[in-house]
A and B are shown apart, each in its own frame.
Chain A
Amino acid sequence: MLRFVAGALVALGLFAALPLFVHNEYWFFAGYVVLQFIVLATAWNILGGYAGYVNFGTGAFFAVGGYTAVALYKAFALPLGLQILAGAAASGLLGFGVGLLTLRLRGIFFSIATIAVAIVLETVVVNWSYVGGAKGLPTMRPASTPLFDSYTVWLFFVMAALALLSVCIARYIETSWIGRGLRAIRDNEGAAECSGVPTLKLKLGAATLSGALMGAAGAPFAQYLSFIEPSSSFSLTYAVNALAMPMIGGVGHWVGPVIGAVLLGTVQQWATVRFQSEINVLVVGVLLVVFVVAAPEGILGLARKLFPGKR
Chain B
Amino acid sequence: MSDLLEVSRLAKNFGGFTALDGVSLSVARGERFGLIGPNGSGKTTLINCVSGALAHDGGSIRFGGEDISALPAYQRTRRGIARSFQIPRPFHSMSVLENLLVPLEYVSGGSEDEAQEILRQIGLADKAQTRSNQLSQVELRKLELARAMAARPRLLISDEAMAGLSSNEVGEVLEILFRLNATGITVIMIEHIMQAVMKFSQRVVCLDAGRIICEGAPAEIVANPEVQRAYLGA
Give yes or no for direct A-B contact (beta carbon below 8 Å): yes
Contact yes or no, A180 B53, CB < 8 A: no
Q: In the complex, what's the smallest C-beta–C-beta distance from B99 to chain A, in angstroms? A: 8
Contact partners of B147 in chain A: CB under 8 A: 191, 195
Pick from B53, B82, B102 the residue with the most CB of A within 10 Å. Answer: B102
User: A134-142, A196-204, A262-270: which one contacts chain B?
Assistant: A196-204
Contact yes or no, B91 A188, CB < 8 A: yes
CB < 8 Å neighbour of A187 from B51, B73, B77, B92: B92
Contact yes or no, B94 A188, CB < 8 A: no
CB < 8 Å neighbour of A195 from B52, B72, B92, B107: B107
CB < 8 Å neighbour of A194 from B83, B94, B101, B105: B83
Q: In the complex, what's the smallest C-beta–C-beta distance from A293 to chain B, in angstroms? A: 20
In angstroms, Cα B203 to Cα A20, docked, is 81
Pick from B52, B73, B83, B150 the residue with the most CB of A within 10 Å. Answer: B73
Contact yes or no, A193 B83, CB < 8 A: no
Contact yes or no, A200 B103, CB < 8 A: no
Q: Which of A166-190 contact B (CB under 8 A)?
A: 177, 180-181, 183-184, 186-188, 190
Contact partners of A180 in chain B: CB under 8 A: 94, 98, 101-102, 105
Contact yes or no, B85 A186, CB < 8 A: no
Q: In the complex, what's the smallest C-beta–C-beta distance from A291 to chain B, in angstroms? A: 18
A192 close to chain B: CB less than 8 A = yes
How many chain A residues have a CB neighbour from B under 8 Å?
A: 20
In angstroms, Cα B92 to Cα A180, docked, is 12
Q: Which of A42-77 contact B (CB under 8 A)?
A: none
The 0/1 profile, CB within 8 Å of A marked 1, for residues 104-132 of chain B is: 01110000000000000000000000000
Instruction: Given A187-B93, A188-B91, answer yes or no on A195-B53 (Cβ-Cβ < 8 Å).
Output: no
In angstroms, Cα B102 to Cα A69, docked, is 40
B78 close to chain A: CB less than 8 A = yes
The residue on B at minimum CB distance from A188 is B89
Contact yes or no, A199 B106, CB < 8 A: no
In angstroms, Cα B52 to Cα A196, docked, is 11
Contact yes or no, A190 B102, CB < 8 A: no
Q: Which of A234-265 contact B (CB under 8 A)?
A: 252
List residues of chain A with CB under 8 Å of any chain B CB.
177, 180-181, 183-184, 186-188, 190-200, 252
List residues of chain B with CB under 8 Å of any chain A CB.
51-53, 72-74, 77-78, 82-83, 85, 89-94, 98, 101-103, 105-107, 147, 150-151
The 4 closest A-B pairs by CB, nearest first: A196-B107, A196-B106, A191-B89, A187-B91
Known: A181-B102, A191-B91. 12 other contacts (CB 8 A): A180-B101, A181-B106, A183-B91, A188-B89, A191-B85, A191-B147, A193-B73, A194-B52, A194-B85, A195-B77, A195-B103, A196-B102
